[in-house]
Amino acid sequence: CALPRDGEMAARFGGFAAVCLGLMMVGACAAEAGGAHLLVQKAMLTNKHFAGSDVPVRYRIFNVGNGAAYDVQLEDEWSPEEFETVSGLSTGNWAKIPAGGNISHIVVVKAHTYGYKTTSAARVTFKQAPGSDETHVVHSNDLGLMPVLSVKDDDKSSNPHLAEWGLFLLAAVALVALPIVLLRPPAPSDSKKKVKSS
């Protein structure tokens, strides 16, 4: 398990802070307007995606308004030519999301081949009152182009790289041993001792 680099951690924190700030601003606007106001977030739960491997996708629906949202329906489309649904459904129905409440929904998909895959925004419909004829529509964020790596890339990233580590250790031992061998004082030889004694 690799720890994220400082740049990755800062980017994640910055993205999280931006989402929180956006939720607070929209929540403040929705509170003034009254009624339900939904925000939808679509996110991949893995950093790297490989062809033939499971990719969990999470949808989070936040009601930042003052009223409850009724008859909430989530719809998302995954191209059957590019993806296969492994578990879960890309649709969901909820009778009510109260003010200040949220719902999470997860679907697991699998890409058939490697390359850049296009994804679309999820669509959520809801009503302000039960039995109302007026339907409101909101969309999630779009994930854009999703890079899907090949199985060879997966093997490279999970390979322990024993040959590279062996060469590194050999070079490290050579760097430590070479100065010791070159800088040690010469030992007196036996022939010099014999000359002095005669």
Integer Cα distance of 74 and 138 in angstroms: 10
Six token digits for residue 164: 């590279």
Q: What is the mean pLDDT of residues 162-167?
A: 82
> Quick check: 194 pLDDT over 80?
no
Q: Are strands 145-149 and 49-50 parallel, antiparallel or unpaired?
A: parallel
Range 67-95 average pLDDT: 91
Residues in Cβ contact with 18 at an 8 Å cutoff, skipping those fewer than 6 apart: none
So what's the pLDDT on residue 186?
74
With a pLDDT cut of 70, the percent of the chain lying above it is 72
Q: How far apart are CA 35 and CA 129, in angstroms?
A: 9
Tokens for 91?
């649709």
Q: What is residue 70's predicted lDDT score, i.e. its pLDDT?
A: 94
Calculate what percentage of the chain has a pLDDT beyond 90: 32
Q: What is the pLDDT of residues 22-38, one digit of tens each?
A: 656 655 554 445 789 99
- pLDDT at site 1: 44
Confidence of residue 112 (pLDDT cuts 50, 70, 90): confident
Residue 20: both structure tokens together: 């929180």
